[in-house]
Amino acid sequence: MEETTKKHCHLEEAIKLLFRGIIPIVFLAAGVVILTLRMPGWSLLLGLPLTIFGTVFLIYTYDEVVRKTFIPILPEVTKCSVCDKPTPISPGTDPEDIVCTSCKRKIKEGIKKEK
């Protein structure tokens, strides 16, 4: 139950960041488009403030995104079947058959020496 809540929280944070990134880009693009249309009065009345607002909003959003830290989703851990070291469980692998990387390397070296 708790893991589902964590995944939902991560998804919600990602969606919020997506919208926080899209909105200033839309404001900036709309301001530039209105400025390039060269409509008398309207380009300065709407285009210039939208461009400035979009730029400032983009800077604040970028600053927030850079400061944001995400907690990585940690994999489930079990003991290695050879040396009992903690080893992450790979998807689709039986937890009883888990072998850590150092043991895999030793097994490969042993097979190469036999040949």
Query: Could you report the per-residue pLDDT of 24-47, keeping only the tens digit for each?
Result: 899 999 999 999 998 888 888 989
pLDDT of residue 85: 87
pLDDT of residue 32: 92
pLDDT of residue 1: 45
Q: Give the Cβ contact number of residue 34 at 10 Å.
A: 20
Q: Give the Cβ contact number of residue 102 at 10 Å.
A: 13
pLDDT digits (tens, 9 = 90+) for 64-93: 777 776 666 667 888 888 888 888 887 777
Percent of the chain residues past pLDDT 70, beyond the cut:
84
Chain mean pLDDT for the chain: 81
Whether pTM > 0.75 for this model: the answer is no
3-state percent helix, strand, coil for the chain, nearest multiple of 5? 70, 5, 25
Indicate the domain borders of the chain.
2-67, 77-114
